[in-house]
Amino acid sequence: MSSVSLLAKQLNKAAENLSVENRKIFDDIIIYIRTSNLKERDAEEFLQQILDSFLNAQQQGVSIESMIGTTDIRHYCEEIVNTYKSSYNFLSRSSQYIMYTGIFIVILSFTKYILQKLTPILFKTHELNNFTFYLDFNLQLIIQCLIVIPFSVIILASLKKTCFKGTSKFSKVKEYFTYWMICVLLICTWIAIFKFVDETVIFSLNIFIVLSIGSVIYFIGNYFTEK
């Protein structure tokens, strides 16, 4: 287990000692920080520091706002994020997106390969001797890859935006509706791609090469998140 993973595990265990109210605030801080594209070590170390402050405030019977010196917790987190990012280079700032790109390449290519090669064999629409380890790249697959990443960024941005919004019934309904709309839009886009985009194969590539490329991209992003 990496040191960053160990920090995250210790953080989750220690957070169980927070009161219900403080845990809600801390959970919002976790979401905000972890969706702010910080290096993993920076994010986990800051979260550990803020958790220690929360626990101290709780033990002393003072409010979280008094402990951190402001009532605007979102602004406080923004300043912390900006301070960290001011020392980052381009690759460090992009590391989280590089990781996600690698993950999406692996998941999408493997899923598409299953649909292209194995599903027809299982349903006996193709013979086993037609089986290959090549993934066919068509416009559908390329557009899907280009669409998934922006949608993921939108979801992360939406998660971040909902932090520190309170727990009113209206805010919960609004949050649910936002995610529902994003999901509906993604599904409709997916259906439109299958229905209207040409399936003509542009080129084919060995699935193991594709998975290797995705894995390498992921580990490059992961390296810069921990560097």
Mean pLDDT for all residues in the chain: 81
Average pLDDT over residues 6-32: 84
Contacts of 95 (CB under 8 A, 6+ apart): 37, 39, 221, 222, 223, 224, 225
Domain boundaries, the chain: 3-85, 90-226
Contacts of 173 (CB under 8 A, 6+ apart): none
Average pLDDT over residues 121-138: 70
- Asked whether residue 212 carries a pLDDT value surpassing 90, the answer given is yes
pLDDT per residue as tens digits for the range 59-81 = 888 888 888 888 888 888 899 98
Distance CA 39, CA 42 (A): 5
Contacts of 202 (CB under 8 A, 6+ apart): 137, 138, 139, 142
Give residue 1's pLDDT: 45
Does the predicted model carry a pTM greater than 0.75? no
**Structure token pair of residue 162:** 């909902």
Alpha-carbon distances of 67 from 9, 22, 45, 180, 225, rounded to whole Å: 24, 12, 18, 37, 29
Q: What fold is seen in the domain 3-85?
A: c-terminal domain of poly(a) binding protein (1.10.1900)
- Asked whether residue 171 carries a pLDDT value surpassing 80, the answer given is no
